[in-house]
C-alpha cells in the first residue's frame, strides 16, 4: 500500500512517521517547507514526547514527483486544502483521499479535485520543534468514514487498519459526521472565545457569562447538526467541562489564541464560519456563531492596518 | 457681571478640554487625583492645541475644600473612576449644580446618591488626545448635549449650554436628554465593544463585510432595547456609525485604547448598562450580552 501525507505539519507528521513503521506501507509526504522536506529525507522524520518514533519516508515539496498512491491523508490547515489537493490530485487518480483536518467543508473542497473522498476527524496533536522533528503532545483516536457512495467502507477500513497497526488508533465507520461535528462544535464554541479574550480554556469556563456564551454557541451548532440528521457521538458540554479541569486543560491556550498572538490566519472560516454556512443551507439560525465569526475576521483585518 | 465659578472634577481628555475652554469665560477650578497634576496646572495653566490654540489659567487641587465654591460642577472623570470621584464630593459644594458627562447610563444615579445637589445630564461627542497633564489636543469638535435630571429645568440646561458655546465649544440643550443619551449609548456599546475585541479603529470596516453586519445587528438590538425603555431615539445609531466611518479619520475608541494599554474599560457603564436596561424591560439582547461578556473576559486576561 502506498500512502501520501498531504501537508506534513504536526498532525501530518504523526500519521507519516507512524505509518512508516509498517513493512507493507510505503509512505510519501508532500509539504511546502523545503527545510522540513530536506531534513526528513536526510535523517528521517522524528517524533518525541508521547511516543518516540523515527519514520523513514520520501518527502517532497514538488507535487510532480509523487507516484500514484492508494491513499492520501490531507492534514494541511483548512485554508490550504484547495491548493494542496489541486497540486497533488494526479497521484490519487485511482486512490482515495482522506481528511484529518479541523473544521467543516474540507471534504467538499477535496471532492472538487478527486473522485473518492474519506471524511475524517482526529484528536492527536503536536507541534513542529525543528525541521524533521515533531513533538507529539497528545495521543488520541481517529475516525474515518466514506464521504459519499463512491467510497466503499471496505477501503476506509483498509486505511484505518493500517493507521491502527502503525500506532495511530483509527476506526472506520459508515457515518463519521457525528465525531466530526462533535469536534467542530467543541472547537467553534471554545477556541474563538479564548482568542478574543486572551483567556485559557479553564478561565473562560469559570466565568458564568462566558460559559453561558459557550453554551449558546454549542446549542446553535448542535441544532445545525440535528437539522442534517447528524447524531453527535458525545455531548460537547460534558467534554468542555471535562477539559476545564485543572488536571486536563485548564491552562491550555486554544490554538486559535496562539494563532492570534502570532498574527497567523485562523481557521475561523471552517469552524464558526462552517456552522453558519451549513445552518443557512438547512434553515437554522446561528446569530452567535455569526457574531463570533465576524469578530475574529475583524481581528485578522486589524493586522493589515 | 462677575464671572461664573465652575469646577471640573477629573482632568482627563474631556475634563481638560472643558476646563481649558471654560477658563476663557469663567473662573475655573479643577479637582484632580494627583498632587503633581495640581501643581503643574497651577504653575503652567492648561494648553489646548488642535482645533484651537490657547492656554487657560486654572486653579487646581486634590482636596475640594481648597477650591472656591462653584455654582456649577462638571463631573468629567472616566466612568470607571466615577464612584471614587463622587465619594470625594460628599458634603462639598452645597450651593452648586452638578452635571455628569460620562458615557453610558447611570452616572447621574451614582452622583445623586451622594448628595442633594440639583443635577444636569449631558453626553458629549467631542474628542481629544491628552498629551500631558497640562496639554490636551482638541480633535473632534462635535457637540455636547445637556438636559435636566434632578431639580433642574430646561432653562438651567440651556444656560450651561450657552456657557459652553461662549467658551468656544459646541453645545445644545434638550428638555429630555434620554433620546440623545440612548442614541449615544447604543453607538458606544457597539463601536467600543467591537473595536476593543477586534483591535480595529472605528473606520470603514465597521460599515462593510464581515464586521459591518455584526455592527448593524448590535445596533438593531440596541434600538429594540431603547424601544423597550420607551425611548424614541434622537438619531439612528447605525447612520451615526456610517457617517463617522466616512470622515476619513481612523478614530481609536476609548475602549480600544484601554485594552491596548491593559487598563480597566468603561464596559460596565456602557455595555453593562445597556444589557441591564434591556433585561429589566424583558428585551432579548444576546449579541450585546456576548460582547459584554467578551470585553469583561478580556479585562480579566490582563493578569
SS3 A178: helix
Report yes or no: B147 and B176 within 8 Å, Cβ to Cβ: yes
Residue finishing a domain among B149, B173, B197 = B173
Task: Give the β-pairing of B119-124 and B97-100.
Answer: parallel
Domain residue limits at B154: 5-173
Report yes or no: A68 and A93 within 8 Å, Cβ to Cβ: yes
Side-by-side strand order, sheet with A170-172: A58-60, A26-30, A2-6, A71-74, A96-99, A117-122, A142-146, A170-172
What's the mean pLDDT in A104-114? 97
Residue finishing a domain among B139, B154, B173 = B173
Side-by-side strand order, sheet with B144-150: B59-61, B27-31, B5-9, B72-75, B97-100, B119-124, B144-150, B171-173
Judge if B23 and B169 occupy the same domain: yes
Judge if B225 and B149 occupy the same domain: no
SS3 B7: strand
What's the mean pLDDT in A23-29? 98
Judge if B225 and B98 occupy the same domain: no
- Total structural domains within chain B: 2
What's the mean pLDDT in A226-237? 96
Judge if B19 and B134 occupy the same domain: yes
Q: Which of B214, B296, B300 lies closest to A291 in CB terms?
A: B214
Residue A176 has pLDDT above 90, yes or no: yes
Per residue in A78-96, pLDDT tens? 999 999 999 999 999 999 9
Question: d(Cα A68, Cα A94) in Å, to the nearest integer?
Answer: 8
Judge if B183 and B101 occupy the same domain: no
Cell numbers placing B181:
443619551
pTM beyond 0.90, yes or no = no
Judge if B214 and B153 occupy the same domain: no
Judge if B219 and B196 occupy the same domain: yes
Closest chain A residue to the Cα of B214, Cα to Cα: A291
Cell 452648586 locates to: B96
Q: Which of B271, B276, B247, B103 is nearest to B196 (CA)?
A: B271
Judge if B157 and B100 occupy the same domain: yes
Report yes or no: B30 and B58 within 8 Å, Cβ to Cβ: yes
Residue finishing a domain among B173, B204, B226 = B173
Scan residues 170-229 of B and list those with Cβ closer than 8 Å to A. 194, 197-201, 205, 210-211, 213-214, 217
Chain A touched by B38 (CB under 8 Å):
no
pLDDT by residue for chain B (303 residues), tens digit each? Answer: 457 999 999 999 999 999 999 999 999 999 999 999 999 999 999 999 999 999 999 999 999 999 999 999 999 999 889 999 999 999 999 999 999 999 888 899 999 999 999 999 999 989 899 999 999 999 989 999 999 999 999 999 999 999 999 999 999 999 999 998 999 999 999 999 999 999 999 999 999 999 999 999 999 999 999 999 999 998 899 999 999 898 877 888 989 999 999 999 999 989 999 999 999 999 999 999 999 999 999 999 998
Inter-chain residue contact B287 with A212, CB threshold 8 Å: no
Most B CBs within 10 A among A295, A297, A305, hence the mutation to make, goes to: A295
**Separation of first and last alpha carbons in chain A:** 49
Nearest-10 crossing angle of helices B178-198, B286-300:
50
Judge if B128 and B219 occupy the same domain: no
Chain B touched by A264 (CB under 8 Å):
no
What's the mean pLDDT in A66-76? 98
ipTM of the complex: 0.90
Cell numbers placing A164:
491502527
Closest chain B residue to the Cα of A193, Cα to Cα: B294
Cell numbers placing A147:
464521504
Chain B touched by A253 (CB under 8 Å):
no
Chain B touched by A213 (CB under 8 Å):
yes
Judge if B77 and B156 occupy the same domain: yes
What pLDDT score was predicted for residue B2? 55
Inter-chain residue contact B210 with A298, CB threshold 8 Å: yes
Chain B touched by A292 (CB under 8 Å):
yes
What pLDDT score was predicted for residue B1? 41
Gap from A195 CA to chain B (nearest CA, Å): 10
Q: Which residues of A touch B287 (CB under 8 A)?
A: 287-288, 291
Instruction: Please report, for the domain that includes residue B141, its CATH number.
Output: 3.40.50.720
Question: d(Cα B57, Cα B27) in Å, to the nearest integer?
Answer: 9
Report yes or no: A192 and A186 within 8 Å, Cβ to Cβ: no
Judge if B231 and B100 occupy the same domain: no
Cell numbers placing A73:
491523508
What are the start-end ranges of the H helices in B199-230? 211-228
Inter-chain residue contact B200 with A216, CB threshold 8 Å: no
Q: Which of B104, B98, B37, B75 is nearest to B254 (CA)?
A: B104
Inter-chain residue contact A295 with B297, CB threshold 8 Å: no
Closest chain B residue to the Cα of A269, Cα to Cα: B210
Chain B touched by A251 (CB under 8 Å):
no
Instruction: Please report, for the domain that includes residue B274, its CATH number.
Output: 1.10.1040.10
Judge if B147 and B189 occupy the same domain: no
What pLDDT score was predicted for residue A165? 98
Residue A282 banded pLDDT, cuts 50, 70, 90? very high
Residues above pLDDT 90, as percent of chain A = 94
Q: Phi/psi of residue B197, each to 5°?
A: -80, -35
Could you tell me if residue A57 is left (phi over 0), alpha (psi between -120 and 50 degrees) or otherwise beta?
beta
Amino acid at each position: 500500500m502506498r500512502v501520501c501525507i498531504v501537508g506534513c505539519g504536526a498532525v501530518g507528521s504523526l500519521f507519516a512517521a507512524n505509518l512508516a513503521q509498517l513493512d507493507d506501507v510505503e509512505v510519501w509526504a508532500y509539504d511546502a517547507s523545503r527545510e522540513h522536506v530536506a531534513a526528513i529525507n536526510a535523517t528521517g522524520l522524528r517524533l518525541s514526547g508521547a511516543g518516540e518514533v523515527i519514520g523513514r519516508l520520501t518527502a517532497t515539496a514538488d507535487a510532480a514527483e509523487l507516484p500514484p498512491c492508494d491513499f492520501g491523508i490531507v492534514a494541511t490547515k483548512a485554508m490550504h486544502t484547495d491548493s494542496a489537493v489541486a497540486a497533488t490530485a494526479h497521484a490519487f487518480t485511482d486512490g482515495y483521499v482522506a481528511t484529518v483536518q479541523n473544521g467543516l467543508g474540507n471534504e467538499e473542497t477535496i471532492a472538487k479535485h478527486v473522485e473518492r473522498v474519506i471524511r475524517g476527524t482526529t484528536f492527536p496533536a503536536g507541534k513542529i520543534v525543528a525541521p524533521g522533528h515533531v513533538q507529539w503532545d497528545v495521543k488520541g483516536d481517529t475516525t474515518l468514514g466514506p464521504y459519499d457512495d463512491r467510497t466503499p467502507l471496505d477501503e476506509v477500513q483498509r486505511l484505518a487498519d493500517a493507521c491502527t497497526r502503525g500506532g495511530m488508533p483509527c476506526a472506520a465507520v459508515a457515518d463519521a459526521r457525528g465525531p466530526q461535528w462533535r469536534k467542530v462544535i467543541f472547537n467553534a464554541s471554545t477556541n474563538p472565545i479564548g482568542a478574543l479574550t486572551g483567556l485559557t480554556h479553564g478561565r473562560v469556563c469559570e466565568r458564568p457569562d462566558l460559559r453561558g456564551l459557550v453554551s449558546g454557541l454549542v446549542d446553535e451548532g448542535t441544532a445545525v447538526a440535528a437539522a442534517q440528521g447528524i447524531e453527535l457521538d458525545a455531548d460537547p458540554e460534558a467534554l468542555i467541562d471535562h477539559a476545564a479541569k485543572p488536571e486536563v486543560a485548564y491552562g491550555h491556550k486554544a490554538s486559535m489564541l496562539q494563532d492570534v498572538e502570532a498574527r497567523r490566519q485562523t481557521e475561523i472560516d471552517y469552524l464558526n464560519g462552517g456552522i453558519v454556512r451549513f445552518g443557512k443551507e438547512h434553515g437554522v439560525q446561528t446569530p452567535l456563531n455569526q457574531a463570533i465569526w465576524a469578530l475574529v475576521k475583524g481581528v485578522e483585518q486589524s493586522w493589515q492596518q | 457681571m462677575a464671572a461664573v465659578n465652575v469646577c471640573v472634577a477629573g482632568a482627563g481628555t474631556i475634563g481638560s478640554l472643558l476646563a481649558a475652554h471654560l477658563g476663557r469665560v469663567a473662573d475655573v477650578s479643577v479637582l484632580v487625583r494627583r498632587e503633581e497634576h495640581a501643581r503643574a496646572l497651577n504653575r503652567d495653566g492648561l494648553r489646548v492645541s488642535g482645533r484651537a490654540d490657547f492656554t487657560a489659567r486654572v486653579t487646581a487641587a486634590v482636596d475640594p475644600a481648597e477650591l472656591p465654591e462653584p455654582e456649577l460642577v462638571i463631573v468629567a472623570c472616566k466612568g470607571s473612576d466615577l464612584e471614587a470621584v463622587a465619594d470625594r464630593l460628599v458634603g462639598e459644594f452645597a450651593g452648586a449644580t452638578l452635571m455628569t458627562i460620562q458615557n453610558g447610563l447611570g452616572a447621574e444615579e451614582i452622583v445623586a446618591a451622594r448628595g442633594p445637589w440639583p443635577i444636569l445630564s449631558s453626553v458629549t461627542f467631542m474628542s481629544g488626545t491628552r498629551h500631558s497633564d497640562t496639554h490636551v489636543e482638541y480633535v473632534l469638535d462635535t457637540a455636547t448635549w445637556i438636559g435636566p435630571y434632578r431639580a433642574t429645568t430646561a432653562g438651567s440646561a440651556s444656560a450651561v449650554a450657552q456657557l459652553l458655546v461662549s467658551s468656544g465649544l459646541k453645545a445644545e440643550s434638550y428638555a429630555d436628554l434620554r433620546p440623545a443619551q440612548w442614541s449615544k449609548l447604543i453607538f458606544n456599546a457597539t463601536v467600543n465593544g467591537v473595536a476593543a475585541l477586534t483591535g480595529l479603529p472605528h473606520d470603514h470596516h465597521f460599515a462593510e463585510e464581515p464586521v459591518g453586519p455584526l455592527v448593524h445587528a448590535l445596533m438593531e438590538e440596541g434600538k429594540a432595547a431603547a424601544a423597550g425603555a420607551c425611548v424614541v431615539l434622537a438619531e439612528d445609531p447605525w447612520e451615526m456609525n456610517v457617517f463617522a466611518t466616512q470622515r476619513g479619520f481612523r478614530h481609536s475608541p476609548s475602549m480600544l485604547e484601554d485594552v491596548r494599554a491593559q487598563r480597566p474599560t468603561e464596559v460596565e457603564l456602557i455595555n453593562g448598562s445597556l444589557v441591564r436596561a434591556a433585561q429589566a424591560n424583558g428585551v432579548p439582547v444576546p449579541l450585546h450580552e456576548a460582547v459584554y461578556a467578551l470585553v469583561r473576559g478580556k479585562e480579566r486576561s490582563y493578569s
